[in-house]
Amino acid sequence: MKTTTVDLFASALHFHPDGDVRAVERQMTSNGSGAWQIATFHVGTDADVHADHWEMHPEAEEAVCCLTGGVRLYFRPDRPGGGEEMVQLQAGTAVIVPRGRWHRLELEVPSDLMSITRRNRTRLEKRTDTH
Q: What is the pLDDT of residues 37-75, one digit of tens each?
A: 999 999 999 999 989 999 999 999 999 999 999 999 999
Q: Is residue 24 part of a domain?
A: yes
Q: What is the pLDDT of residues 75-92, one digit of tens each?
A: 999 888 889 999 999 999
Q: Is residue 3 part of a domain?
A: no
Domain count, the chain: 1
Q: Is residue 7 part of a domain?
A: no
Contact 111, 43 (CB under 8 A): yes
95 Cβ contact list (under 8 Å, min separation 6):
63, 64, 73, 87, 89
